[in-house]
């Protein structure tokens, strides 16, 4: 895929950060020496970590140059590095690994989570939040459009970019033997957005990227027109004209 667009992502900063706030609230560690924000994006989640643990060494890692640029501008006093989580290990002194909405993009992410948890010292925490929305209309419909004859060949790979997440029990069985404590929960948010086109703008910053990147500009326009029509039909306005974007997320806090 092309690089992430930090400005597009930040159009819905408050809504995107809400999951990070809820995840952070359940981490039981009071005094952390080193905290790493995995998939830090533009630094909105890293900022929360810095407020929670002001004395800790805070590091953000991401694969996106644009996201890292935004994060460094936002939090110049902290360290941000370009790294792929699949090939990265936490440095000594790391007490908290915080991963907000990143592992759903990582191949064999459960094995990676186990590897990272085992690399922590006893009492260290791996905190993970992932969108669990592949069966929501927002994502079902992008796959539906991608299967149309004019797009199917070019977007066959995009259809495999993300899988449905395993059930909570799968995470529990894999992580519990490595933990002194584990907490797993689901939350379903209903984000209030201005209208159906706002939903399209939301997913353009995340889930739509694998579908739009392979297309030329005229094809992107055609794809978005077909997608917008389907979104408008699936997310009718409320009494005040707003729409509700139903957004399930799974949370895991594993303490070694």
Q: Is position 228 within any domain?
A: yes
Q: How much is the pTM?
A: 0.90
Residue labelled with tokens 């594993």: 254
Task: For residue 119, give the CATH number of its domain.
Answer: 3.40.50.150
Q: Tens-digit pLDDT profile for the chain (256 aa)? A: 454 454 554 456 677 788 999 999 999 999 999 999 999 998 999 999 999 999 999 999 999 898 899 999 999 999 999 999 999 999 999 999 999 999 998 999 999 999 999 999 999 999 999 999 999 999 999 999 999 999 999 999 888 877 889 999 999 999 999 999 999 999 999 999 999 999 999 898 788 988 999 999 999 999 999 999 999 999 999 999 999 999 999 999 999 9
- Residue 123 maps to a domain: yes
Is the residue at 74 inside a domain?
Answer: yes
- Spatial neighbors of 149 by CB under 8 A, at least 6 apart, are none
**Nearest to 166, CA basis, from 186, 190, 182, 147:** 186
In a domain, 1, yes or no: no
Number of structural domains found in the chain: 1
Structural domain containing residue 122: 6-255
């Amino acid at each position: 895929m092309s690089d992430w667009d930090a400005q597009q992502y930040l159009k819905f900063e408050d809504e995107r950060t809400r999951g990070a706030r809820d995840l952070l609230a359940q981490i039981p560690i009071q005094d952390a020496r080193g905290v790493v924000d995995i998939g830090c994006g533009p630094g909105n989640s890293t900022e929360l970590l810095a407020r929670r643990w002001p004395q800790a060494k805070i590091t953000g890692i991401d694969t996106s140059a644009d996201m890292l640029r935004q994060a460094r501008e936002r939090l110049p006093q902290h360290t941000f590095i370009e790294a792929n989580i699949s090939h990265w290990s936490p440095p000594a002194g790391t007490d908290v690994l915080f991963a907000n909405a990143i592992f759903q993009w990582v191949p064999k992410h459960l094995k990676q989570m186990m590897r990272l948890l085992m690399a922590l010292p006893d009492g260290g925490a791996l905190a993970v939040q992932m969108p669990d929305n592949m069966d929501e209309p927002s994502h079902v419909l992008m796959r539906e459009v991608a299967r149309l004859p004019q797009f199917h060949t070019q977007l066959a790979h995009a259809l495999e970019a993300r899988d449905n997440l395993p059930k909570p029990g799968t995470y529990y069985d894999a992580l519990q033997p490595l933990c002194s404590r584990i907490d797993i929960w689901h939350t379903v948010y209903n984000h209030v957005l201005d209208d159906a086109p706002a939903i399209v703008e939301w997913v353009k910053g995340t889930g739509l990227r694998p579908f739009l990147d392979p297309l030329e500009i005229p094809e992107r326009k055609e794809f978005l027109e077909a997608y917008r029509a389907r979104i408008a039909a699936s997310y009718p306005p409320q009494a005040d004209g707003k729409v509700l974007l139903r957004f399930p997320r799974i949370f895991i806090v594993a303490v070694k």
